Amino acid sequence: MSTKRKALTVEGLRVEVEGKEVIKELSLNIYAGERLALMGPNGSGKSSLSNALVGHPSYEITQGRIYLNGEDITDLSVDKRAKLGLFLAMQYPVAIPGVSVANFLRSVIKAQRGKEVSIREFRSELKNNMEFLEINKSFASRYINDGFSGGERKKMELLQMLMLKPRLAIIDEIDSGLDVDALKIVSNGISGMCGPDNAMLLITHYRRILDYVPQDRVCVMINGSIVETGGPELVDEIETKGYEWLQKKVA
């Protein structure tokens, strides 16, 4: 894996929110083509890490650097990170009344690529991705997430991801609250973006989604730090023992 291009490099990262340290000298590499699962109990800092990586203004980086495809993005704004190929599928997608799904997606694609996309090309791509995610075509004209169910909102996040084709996709607990059928569709969507030039950081509490989207590596986060790294077998160990044995290691 080390011979491959690094999609993301995090060096000695420390992050604070309202004066409280939530990430504690964390270092991590994710390689092009790699799927990496980040697991851990509630409050371990997983979502804080994802927010810091994408540049959320409430998360202050007090130490360390973040590199995306070799470029230092530590001090870049959210939109500049997105243009470089960073994407976050949020745990709690927000509604945007008054903005249709189609208009929003066409605008963000134009911003990302720096040029207009022909209506014909855009509609074809949108139609194919909506069919892949089993989203009714009527949703293209609806306002983003306005009145959508939890599962529909998660599908919208994945639709954005498939349309934007990010270099690194951070997927934050997208499996929460999904029934089995929705989980299978969402898992297919996640798998659909994976390729030799794309990397993925999949954040989750449970193994459920990992049964549908196998990972190359698994990292476990406790109290703001990564305390264990391994292969898919680490998921089985967590399933058997829970997180308590890892918490004892850092107590």
CATH label of the domain that carries residue 13:
3.40.50.300
Per-residue pLDDT at 1 exceeds 60: no
Domain extent for 179? 6-92+167-249
The verdict on residue 162 lying in a domain is no
Q: What is the mean pLDDT of residues 120-149?
A: 93
pLDDT band for 225, please (50, 70, 90 cuts).
very high
Give residue 191's pLDDT. Answer: 84
Residues ≥6 apart with Cβ < 8 Å to 159? 101, 105, 129, 130, 133, 135, 189
The verdict on residue 125 lying in a domain is no
Q: What is the mean pLDDT of residues 142-153?
A: 91
Q: What percent of the chain has pLDDT over 70?
A: 98
Give residue 127's pLDDT. Answer: 95
Q: What is the mean pLDDT of residues 63-74?
A: 96
For residues 226 and 49, what is the distance between their CA atoms, to the nearest angstrom? 11
Of 22 and 192, the one with more pLDDT = 22
C-alpha angle 188-139-133 in degrees, rounded to nearest 5: 10
pLDDT tens for each residue of 69-107 = 999 999 999 999 999 999 999 878 888 999 999 999 999
Q: What's the pTM?
A: 0.90
Per-residue pLDDT at 2 exceeds 60: no
- Number of independent structural domains in the chain: 1
Give residue 150's pLDDT. Answer: 85
For residues 196 and 187, what is the distance between their CA atoms, to the nearest angstrom? 18
Of 211 and 53, the one with more pLDDT = 53
Per-residue pLDDT at 10 exceeds 80: yes
Token code pair at residue 74: 């530590």
Give residue 28's pLDDT. Answer: 96
pLDDT tens for each residue of 19-35 = 999 999 999 999 999 99
- Cross-strand partners of 9: 29, 67
Burial of 138 (0-12, 13-18, 19+ CB in 10 A): exposed
